[in-house]
Chains A and B, each alone.
Chain A
Amino acid sequence: NAGVTQTPKFQVLKTGQSMTLQCAQDMNHEYMSWYRQDPGMGLRLIHYSVGAGITDQGEVPNGYNVSRSTTEDFPLRLLSAAPSQTSVYFCASSYSRSGAGELFFGEGSRLTVL
């Protein structure tokens, strides 16, 4: 099993550009989520999903969109990138539909917005 796979690992964008961070898991997990990690801030939840067709906002959702058309994939879209979105993004999944169990993390996507 590959676990949670994130692509790309690194990306540089200019202000105003859009892009999609991809996340796929092969563990048949219902729960998937996106976090951003900034120095001194820990991990902050952006969006999460408890199953295909169901998404909800986390602590810092502004500027990001998500969709969940399949159990395996949970892409994160930046519609118009801003320098404040420079961060490391982590996708995580859990066998627990509520997210209460162990989270499995991807290796992260490092995004720089100029």
Chain B
Amino acid sequence: SQQGEEDPQALSIQEGENATMNCSYKTSINNLQWYRQNSGRGLVHLILIRSNEREKHSGRLRVTLDTSKKSSSLLITASRAADTASYFCATTSGGSYIPTFGRGTSLIVHP
């Protein structure tokens, strides 16, 4: 069963705009990861954030984690058409370190 749930399910923006997607989860986590999936391809890891961290950056990506609200957000700044993809959050929680994936956010960036 899904632990993390992404919101929105779909997002359509213009090139140059920022894209923000959120992940909410139900139980306390060990860590949370974000992945990208281009159409017809496998998933690619973007960022891992641990439960004791609040923010991480990687290039144009910024991930925040609010454990009190049980939520995380992924911000893509100055989006490009090449950012068009589905984005998934994956959480590990409790005694299990096996990642559980959400249903994903489909992002379309129009040139």
What is the interface of chain A, defined by CB distance below 8 A to chain B?
A: 4, 33, 35, 40-45, 48, 58-59, 90, 92, 96, 98-108
Contact = CB atoms under 8 A, between A and B. Distances in A.
Contacts of B31: 100
A105 B97 contact: no
A59 B1 contact: yes
A107 B99 contact: no
B72 interface: no
Given A42-B88, A43-B88, A99 B97 contact: yes
Contacts of A103: 33, 35, 43, 45, 90, 99
Nearest to A106: B42
B45 A104 contact: yes
A101 B100 contact: no
Given A45-B98, A108-B41, 14 more contacts: A40-B103, A42-B88, A42-B102, A42-B103, A45-B100, A59-B1, A96-B97, A99-B92, A102-B45, A103-B33, A103-B45, A103-B99, A104-B45, A105-B42
Give the interface residue-count category, chain B: 20 to 34
Contacts of A100: 30-31, 92, 97, 99
A33 B100 CA distance: 12
Interface string B1-27: 110000000000000000000000000
